[in-house]
Structures are given as C-alpha cells and as structure tokens.
Amino acid sequence: MKILVQKFGGTSVSTHERRKMVIKKIKTALSEGFNPVVVVSAMGRKGEPYATDTLLSLIDTMFKDNNKQASDLLMSCGETLSTVILCNELYKDNLEAVPLTGGQAGIITDDNYNNASVLNVETENLISILKEGKIPVVAGFQGQNEKGFITTLGRGGSDVTAALLGVALNAEEVQIYTDVDGIMTADPRLVSEASLIKEISYNEVFQFADQGAKVIHPRAVEIAMKGNIPLVIKNTMSNCDGTLINSSGDLDTNSIITGITHMSNRVQVKVNYEQNKNNENYNLLLDVLAENMISIDLINVFPKENIFTIDEKDLAKFDSIMTNIGLTYSCIKNCSKIAIIGSRIRGVPGVMAKVLKALIRENIEVLQTADSHTTIWCLVEEKHTNRAINALHKEFKLG
C-alpha cells in the first residue's frame, strides 16, 4: 500500500467551495495510485463559527483554566465536525470515507490536557479502513488518553497529527495543505515580496517554525525528521509544487540567509545588580524562574546586570515571583523578537553588521541581539516589526 497523508488546515476546509478543492487534491492522490489518509483542522479562523477560538469563547476563562479536561472536549469538537462534513462531501462525489476522532485513529496520549504528548499510535483501525478501499478522515489536534478521555495536542496540533500518522503508517509523504504556496522567505502577509522556498532541510524549517513562522508546527517537523518521512507544504487553492522538506534540502543555494520570522508579545526584562546588591536571591534568579516554569530567552548576563526576555503571558506570574523574592526590575513591554535564519551563517563574517546596518537605516532601535550558528535574533519594539522584517528581507535580497 502506498500511503499518502494529506492534512488540510482551517481555511482549506472553511467553505463548501474550498472543500471542493480539498476533494480535488484527494482525487489526485487516488488517481496517482496512493491510499490517502486525510487529516482535518477545525473550519475557519478566529471569529468564524466552528473555529477553535470561537468554541473556546463559549466558556469562561476561569472555568477553562480549572477544567482542562472539559476545555479539551470542547476544543476537540471543531475538528470532529470537519471530519463528518468532509466525509459527507466525499460521499456526494461517490467516494467512501470514514470520519474518525483522534482516539479512533489510534492516537494515544498522556493526561496532560491542553498540551498532551503522544505515547503511541495504534494503526489497526486506519489499516482496516484502508484495506476496505475507503478514505479515513481523521480529526487533527486531538488524541485520547488511556482512560478514554479526549485530549488536545496544543495549538497547531493538526500538523502534529499528520506527521505522527505519516510515520506510524510509513507513508510515502506527508502533505500539509494551507492557504499559502509553501514556506516563504517571510510571512507573505507582512512581506509582499516574500518568495517561495522550494526545498529546505528539516533542521532549517524547524528553526523557522520554532521562532514563530506559523506555517508548520515545530513538533511536526521533529516527528517527520525522526521518522525520515518527507513533508511537503502546499496550497489547497493552487497547483504550485510547494515546499519540500527533507534531510538534503537547502544545500545548493548561494544565499547565506534562508528567511526571516518573528515572535511577538515579548517583554524585555532588566535586573540590575546595584539595585539588588543586598539581596542574595539576585544570583538565584534564573533558578527560581526555571523552578516556576517561566521560560526566558535572549539571556545576556553582565557583571552589573542580567537582561532577558519573557512571554507577555508570563508577566503577571513573573512579577509576583519578583515581589516574593524581593528583587526589583525594569521592563519594556510589546517587543518583537525577529529571527534571521540561515544554516550557512556559521563562520561568515559581517552578517550581524549587515543586519544592524539595515535596521539603523530605518531608524529602528535594536534593544538586544543574540546569535547562534543558524540564527541571528534582534529584539525591537513591536510597532517596528513590519518595517524591520521588510528592511532585512531587502538587505539580504530574499525577494
């Protein structure tokens, strides 16, 4: 059996017209001799009736935070609806399809509601449906724990479902269908000149995804990489070849930089030694934050000051920890962490200089920088994000 996993995102399944295009992609797979296994997201985006965020808005935040099992049950409904609706449309097209929840498709997770980890994928149901010549249509983003309760895999989790099934079924390929032509040198919503990346390595795309490019979930990339299953990002609405992600990718390009992405809602924190010098907790701060599960990044430790960033959603908790341990700090809210990614940055002199030059020319103040062998990060005020990304995109001639 030549299995192909085809995952369709929220916009791809949002309307009858778009679902017609989805069916076209499934038919193409069939005509090429594949056995498709389809994974679907909830229909539409925030504000639309069956989107995950809309479902979540039906319950109170307090209830949601204290009843994660209930909120998982609610959130999982969006994908479950999509499976039946798509099966109905396949049926009208004389294609026999079987809708399945994540649990029915064999996705077994731990009990960590809202962000469950997958323990096992039991493929018996999927294999028997495929053997009957039918198309399994699986609800993405959800699994089931050993007690039989529905769990969810974290936002963007339908990509994870697709990659997991691809590996478990030893698929020829996992296709992620979305509303853009593939992975671009920058988010096309921000940079109109962004160009398509035809081939890229798992490693580089992981950096992209992990640093905020929403187009694919980083866990999905990791899972496909471990299982050595090619991932292809494609547009449901076009016939473009998309982006192929595999282990060879991106070796024969001349450009040092592959692309640019960003993460918003960062807060830059400064903790000054002079202001806290009589407090023994000053040297323990990073430990205390780790114990409290506050993740920090862009960490610069200087003799007289520690500087780092946290996510805006952790600020209230961070503030109460600082009060408890008696440390004072200052912060800049509404920052954006821009990541300039390229696996060939290593050892090439002058890349950081070029980055700074492009931003200074635009009068954008750089609040902090950091670099690794594949990425350069710049922290800027959120209001400059768009201009900064466009300036860098131009500077590195990525268009």
Q: Which residues bind ligand ADP (CB under 6 A)?
A: 9-12, 41, 156, 178-180, 183-184, 186-189, 213-215, 259, 261
- Considering CB distances under 5 to 8 angstroms, the limit depending on partner class, which of ligand ADP, Mg ion, none binds residue 161? none
User: At closest approach, how far in Å is the CB of 274 from ligand ADP?
Assistant: 41
- Considering CB distances under 5 to 8 angstroms, the limit depending on partner class, which of Mg ion, ligand ADP, none binds residue 75? none
- Considering CB distances under 5 to 8 angstroms, the limit depending on partner class, which of ligand ADP, Mg ion, none binds residue 151? none
| Size of the chain, expressed as the number of residues it contains | 399
- Considering CB distances under 5 to 8 angstroms, the limit depending on partner class, which of ligand ADP, Mg ion, none binds residue 173? none
Q: Which is nearer to Mg ion, 183 or 351 (CB)?
A: 183
Integer angstrom CA distances of residue 91 from 36, 86, 347: 15, 9, 56
> Using CB under 5 A as the criterion, what x/- string covers residues 114-153 for binding Mg ion?
----------------------------------------
Name the nearest CA neighbour of 341 among 203, 228, 232, 246. 203
Q: Which is nearer to ligand ADP, 120 or 192 (CB)?
A: 192
Residue identified by tokens 């649990």 is 103
Q: Which is nearer to ligand ADP, 98 or 233 (CB)?
A: 233
User: Within its chain, how far is the Cα of 224 from the centroid?
Assistant: 14
- Considering CB distances under 5 to 8 angstroms, the limit depending on partner class, which of Mg ion, ligand ADP, none binds residue 162? none
- Considering CB distances under 5 to 8 angstroms, the limit depending on partner class, which of Mg ion, ligand ADP, none binds residue 11? ligand ADP
Q: Which is nearer to Mg ion, 106 or 156 (CB)?
A: 156
User: At closest approach, how far in Å is the CB of 307 from ligand ADP?
Assistant: 27
Name the nearest CA neighbour of 318 among 292, 346, 280. 292
- Considering CB distances under 5 to 8 angstroms, the limit depending on partner class, which of Mg ion, ligand ADP, none binds residue 250? none
Q: Which is nearer to Mg ion, 36 or 156 (CB)?
A: 156
Please give the Cα distance from 395 to 28 (Å, whole number): 40
User: At closest approach, how far in Å is the CB of 43 from ligand ADP?
Assistant: 10
- Residue number of the CB atom closest to ligand ADP: 9
Long-range residue pairs from 291-300, CB within 8 A, at least 24 positions apart, any chain: 292/317, 292/321, 294/318, 294/321, 296/269, 297/337, 297/370, 298/268, 298/337, 298/368, 298/370, 298/377, 298/379, 300/368, 300/370
User: At closest approach, how far in Å is the CB of 156 from Mg ion?
Assistant: 5
User: At closest approach, how far in Å is the CB of 216 from Mg ion?
Assistant: 7
Residue 78 binding Mg ion, by CB under 5 A: no
Q: Which is nearer to Mg ion, 102 or 156 (CB)?
A: 156
The answer to whether the CB of 78 falls within 8 A of the CB of 156 is no
- Considering CB distances under 5 to 8 angstroms, the limit depending on partner class, which of Mg ion, ligand ADP, none binds residue 154? none
The correct pick among 103, 156, 249, 259 for binding Mg ion (CB under 5 A) is: 156
For Mg ion, the binding residues (CB under 5 A) are 156
